[in-house]
Amino acid sequence: MVKEKQYQEAYEKIEVPSEVVKQAIRKGVQRGTTIKHNKKPIWKVASIIAVVFMVALVSVSITFPSFAERLPIVGSIYDFFKEDNQEFVFKEYEDKSTGINVTEESNGVSVTITDAVYDRESITIAYKIKSEKDLGDGAVLSGNLEIEEIANTLNEGSMPPKKIGENEYAGLLIATLVTGQEADQIHVNWKGNTIISFDGDQQMRTSGNWSFEFTLDSLESKTQNFAENNYTSTTDGFSVELTRTTTTPISRDFHFKEQIDRDLDGWIEEEWDIILFDYKVYDDLGKEYDSIGLSSYGDKFDKGHRIRTTVIDEEATSLRIIPIVEIYDRKVNLVKEPFYLKPIHVPLNK
């Protein structure tokens, strides 16, 4: 398990809002060892930096890319993530993605963006890294992301990378967009300047210039609002409200408002520091949907949270969403076993 000192060292190197970063890093550190109800952790313990990416706010300028060579795709990047519970979340992506197939090489490392998809809620970019030397257990591309039509992204995150061959790695970047800034078509500029790689608990950096520019058309989407209909679960000072969902051909996103009573005794008596929410999603046919977290923002008492599942079964008429509460102290210790709140029952528009 990653030590508290190592967490602190990683945290101090990132210049982003401290409370948000602390929450995400602690979430990643604990995921692999404390939550028993999930099939597999989304964030792996060794990949702290991937969790940090998920919460780093992006508002930057970017230059045009240098010469890029077009190469054919062999297989799908999404396929490399099927061993985890992301198998279902990403299974529709390949057919709906836009082929990019552009490679940039710098400082002995080549990066190929194979394809990307934009669904008005987020942008997902699939890419490969090939190095002249071993980069350890995993490697991700870090840099500045700019979308001409959108002022800034809400969160920019990377799934834990996969080592797919000798000195070769697969990666997925997910940039979550602020609600209300959607466009039918977007122009994306991604200027990668650092390859961050991991070997056990060690983190290494390779500087370079990997710049890409491409255009994406939006997938169709449909939003269902719940904010005024009181789809809420409240138990002993913990409250979750479903505010909206958005359906696309590749997924369904759920937006939640999470609140915790600041006067609960546990804040002092049990030294609560961070309270996080997870979710189980079922339909009325009995099917359970795996999910990934897209973004979380706010303070420790009042937060917004967005998760993503695969497309809901067309025959389903309602959903049952079960919030799960996880409480940690300042040393990132789980204070008590995660516990469920009352289910939220949600009708589906057809």
The H or E element that residue 33 is part of is helix 18-34
- Overall pTM > 0.85: no
Q: What is the Cα Rg of the chain in Å?
A: 20
Closest by CA position to 294, among listed 140, 173, 206: 173
Place of tokens 């520091």: 273
Token pair 């950096």: residue? 205
Q: What confidence score (pLDDT) does residue 83 get?
A: 60
Convert the pLDDT of each residue in 296-314 to its tens digit.
Answer: 888 889 999 999 999 999 9
Domains of the chain, with CATH numbers? Answer: 1-55 (no CATH), 57-217 (2.60.40.1630), 222-347 (2.60.40.1640)
Q: Provide the pLDDT for residue 89.
A: 81
Count CB atoms within 10 A of the CB of residue 165. 9
Question: What is the residue-level pLDDT of the chain in tens, covering all 350 positions?
Answer: 343 344 344 433 434 333 444 444 444 433 333 333 333 333 332 333 333 333 332 222 222 232 223 333 345 888 887 765 544 588 889 899 999 999 999 999 999 999 999 999 999 999 999 999 999 999 999 999 999 998 777 678 888 899 999 999 999 999 988 877 779 999 999 999 999 998 888 899 999 999 999 999 999 999 999 988 889 999 999 999 999 999 999 999 999 999 999 999 999 999 999 999 999 999 999 999 988 888 888 888 999 999 999 999 999 999 999 999 999 999 999 999 999 999 999 999 75
Per residue in 134-148, pLDDT (tens digit) is 999 999 999 999 999
Distance from C-alpha of 175 to C-alpha of 177, rounded to nearest angstrom: 6
